[in-house]
């Protein structure tokens, strides 16, 4: 799992957790504003009001911190989607609620795009594994829907998983990042699922 490969030892004390959170928040802000390579450990720690030496209590280097942020994003997105779809009784409803959860999450954390996509240039395997793991989780849900006869049996579920991830990613960019359309999120999620249900092309 991507999250296991990027795991960082979590502090056991309240003070330690607070320091780690401050480091991560400042790193997230600076990475999003300036980029990974233009941001130094010294700058992160100065903005977090912590000594540079404190950094090495939690991380071995800047890349380890970056991986921690990716792990946090992956966990946050999956957790929010899982919580939202708990009430769904069909795969169609789960898709709608999952899209809604994703839009809400990226609207609250717009730097997600900057930091996740920059991994393509920092360490390509991070980018690949982030999306492969997300897709693998999606594939399992689609296979369950096939078994329950809720979706077509002869479709390539891997292809569909990446297609749906792509829809969420770029709809999120347009309606959650380019401008705030948060009031329309339920309507947007509904429209996407209606198109998926009816099909794009006239029969």
98: which residues sit within 8 A by CB, 6+ positions away?
81, 84, 85, 168
Q: Which of 122, 125, 131, 109 is nearest to 39 (CA)?
A: 122
3-class secondary-structure state, position 36: coil
Please tell me the pTM assigned to this model: 0.89
Query: Quick one: pLDDT at residue 7?
Result: 54
Return d(Cα 170, Cα 44) in angstroms, integer: 30
Q: What is the pLDDT along the chain (203 residues), one digit of tens a residue?
A: 545 554 566 777 899 899 999 999 999 999 999 999 999 999 999 999 999 999 999 999 999 999 999 999 999 999 999 999 999 999 999 999 999 999 999 999 989 999 999 999 999 999 999 999 999 999 999 999 999 999 999 999 999 999 999 999 999 999 999 999 999 999 999 999 999 999 989 87
What the chain holds in terms of domains, given with CATH numbers, is 10-59 (1.10.10.60), 61-198 (1.10.357.10)
Query: Is the torsion defined by CA of 138, 140, 142, 144 positive or negative?
Result: negative
Query: Quick one: pLDDT at residue 12?
Result: 79
Query: Quick one: pLDDT at residue 2?
Result: 47
């Amino acid at each position: 799992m991507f999250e296991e490969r990027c795991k960082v030892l979590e502090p056991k004390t309240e003070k330690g957790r607070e320091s780690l959170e401050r480091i991560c928040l400042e790193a997230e802000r600076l990475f999003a504003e300036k980029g990974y390579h233009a941001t130094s450990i010294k700058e992160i720690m100065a903005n977090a009001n912590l000594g540079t030496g404190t950094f090495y209590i939690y991380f071995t280097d800047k890349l380890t911190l970056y991986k921690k942020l990716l792990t946090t994003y992956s966990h946050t997105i999956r957790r929010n989607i899982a919580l939202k779809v708990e009430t769904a009784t069909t795969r169609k409803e789960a898709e709608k609620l999952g899209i809604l959860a994703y839009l809400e999450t990226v609207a609250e954390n717009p730097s997600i795009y900057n930091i996740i996509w920059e991994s393509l240039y920092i360490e390509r395997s991070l980018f690949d594994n982030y999306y492969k793991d997300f897709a693998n989780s999606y594939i399992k849900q689609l296979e369950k829907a096939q078994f329950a006869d809720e979706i077509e049996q002869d479709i390539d579920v891997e292809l569909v998983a990446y297609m749906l991830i792509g829809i969420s990613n770029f709809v999120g960019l347009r309606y959650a990042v380019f401008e705030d359309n948060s009031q329309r999120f339920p309507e947007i999620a509904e429209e996407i699922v209606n198109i998926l249900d009816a099909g794009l092309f006239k029969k």
